[in-house]
Amino acid sequence: MPAFWAAARAQLGEFRRDPGTLLMLVTAPFFAVILLSVTEHGGRPDLAPYALLAPAVMTSIGMAVMEAGETIFRDRSTGVLEALLTTPAPLAAVLSGRIAAITAVSLLGIAECWLVGALGFGIVVAVEHPLVFAATLLATAAGTAATGVVMAAVFVIGRNVRSFQNSLTFPLYLLGGAMVPVALLPAGFEAASRLFFLSWATDLLRDSLAPGPVAAFGPRLAAVLGLAAATFAAGFWIAHRLVRRVRRTGTVGFA
Partner 1 sequence: MAPGPGRGDAEAMSITGFDAPAVDVRGRSRDFATARGGPPRRALDDFGLTVAAGEVHGLLGPNGAGKTTLCKILSTVLLPTAGTARVHGLDVVADAKRVRPLLGIVFGGERGLYARMTAAQNLRFWAALYGHRRREGRRRAAELLERVGLGPRADEPVETFSRGMKQRLHLARGLVGDPRVLVLDEPTVGMDPVSAHEFRGLVEDLRAEGRAVLLTTHDMAEAEALCDRVSFIDGGRLLRCEDPRVLGELLSRHERVRASGVPEALAERIAALPGVERVRSTGPGAVLVETGRGGAALPVLRTLVEAGVSDVSTAPPTLEEVYLHLIGERGMAVRP
Max Cα separation, the chain? Answer: 61
| Closest distance of CB 90 from partner 1, Å | 9
Residues constituting the chain:
255
Strands (E), 29-124: none
Q: Measured from the CB atom, is 79 or 171 closer to partner 1?
A: 79
User: How far is Cα 200 from Cα 193, in angstroms, rounded to an integer?
Assistant: 9
User: How far is Cα 15 from Cα 205, in angstroms, rounded to an integer?
Assistant: 27
Tell me, residue by residue from 193 to 232, as one string, x for binding to ligand ADP by CB under 6 A and - for no binding: ----------------------------------------
| Closest distance of CB 254 from ligand ADP, Å | 9
Residue 255 contacts ligand ADP per CB under 6 A: yes
Residue 248 contacts ligand ADP per CB under 6 A: no
Q: How many Cβ atoms from other residues are within 10 Å of residue 179's Cβ?
A: 17
Amino acid at the residue 34: I
| Closest distance of CB 249 from ligand ADP, Å | 7
Which DSSP state fits 125? Answer: -
DSSP per-residue codes, 44-58: -GGGHHHHHHHHHHH
Residue 250 contacts ligand ADP per CB under 6 A: yes
Q: Measured from the CB atom, is 37 or 77 closer to partner 1?
A: 77
| Closest distance of CB 246 from ligand ADP, Å | 10
What is the binding site for ligand ADP (CB under 6 A)? Answer: 250-251, 255
